[in-house]
Amino acid sequence: MTHPAITSMLISIRHTTHYHYDGPVQHAVQALRLTPPSGLSQQVRHWSIHIPGLEGASSFTDAFGNLVHLVTPPGPVTSLEIVAEGQIETMDTAGVAGFTREAALPSLYLRTTDLTAPDDGIKHLAEQCQNPDRLTRLHDLMGRIRDAVRYDTDATHVHTTAGEALRDGAGVCQDHAHVMIACARHLGIPARYVTGYLHLDEDDTAVAHHAWAEAYTEDLGWIGFDPANRICPSIHYVRLAVGLDARGAAPLRGIRLGPWVENLSVEVVVTQSQQ
């Protein structure tokens, strides 16, 4: 007996961030990119963010199309909890996010950053992908990156560049995405970093804050490529924010006044819900 292919999924997400300081922080500002967008591959059923000071926050859509909240928690505080949660319905689009609405033109995503600058190793890997069809070339590139960079959670850190990860032959999803972006841009293909969520198991709770790359084609728009898993994003993926690299797409970035040491912990729980 054959079963029909699953073409959509309802995913519940709870993303909790804890800050703890060893002294009272009088003033801090948090930039939150914690609101998933609706689009071709997903529709937001409901979503909420909980953080002290949200009611007085300024909100805007940045050039990359991300909804940003600028929050000043009331001080002094020695701890801070930020919770983003809701339900997203995902659709099977074979990784195609399409022509997303944003101020930035695709050509902006040819710009390199410190994390995605192409060194000789990146250029050599990219130039091995010579198929004239852009989509075929990108699929070839994704496979070559996964072959060249094994998955190793202890091999890199948040400041590791694409060139360093490729040279060392190990990294995590952030590194795979950066290598994909650096190679694609070297080939003249606009590419960007995507941060989001991945539901790993259809039956059990999964903890998965994930990252991958998107590249632009003129006929289909933005298409996702996840070298870490050697696939294009499926109904198990939820897009959260995009940027030129991991720093630009970070769900949380903040500044604070004071000499106190900050400790950060993050918990992301992703489950499949009933339709």
- The H-assigned helical ranges of the chain are 120-127, 134-148, 162-168, 173-186
User: Residues 187, 137: contact at Cβ < 8 Å?
Assistant: yes
For residue 6, the model assigns a pLDDT of 74
Q: How confident is the model at residue 208 (pLDDT cuts 50, 70, 90)?
A: confident
Strands 150-151 and 170-171: parallel
Quick one: pLDDT at residue 200?
82
3-state secondary structure of 137: helix
pLDDT in tens, 236-267: 999 999 999 999 999 999 888 888 898 999 99
Q: Quick one: pLDDT band at residue 3, thresholds 50, 70, 90?
A: very low
Q: What is the pLDDT of residue 203?
A: 46
Could you report the per-residue pLDDT of 180-204, keeping only the tens digit for each?
Answer: 999 999 999 999 999 999 998 654 4
pLDDT for 275 equals 62
Please tell me the predicted confidence (pLDDT) of residue 115: 98
**Average pLDDT of the residues of the chain:** 93
- pLDDT by residue (tens digit) across 106-117? 999 999 999 999
Q: Which domains does the chain have, with CATH numbers?
A: 8-90+252-273 (2.60.40.2250), 96-234 (3.10.620.30)
In the structure, what pLDDT confidence band is assigned to residue 4 with cuts at 50, 70 and 90?
low
83/116 Cα distance (integer angstroms): 30
Which tens digits make up the pLDDT trace of 12-64? 999 999 999 999 998 989 999 999 999 999 999 999 999 999 998 999 999 99
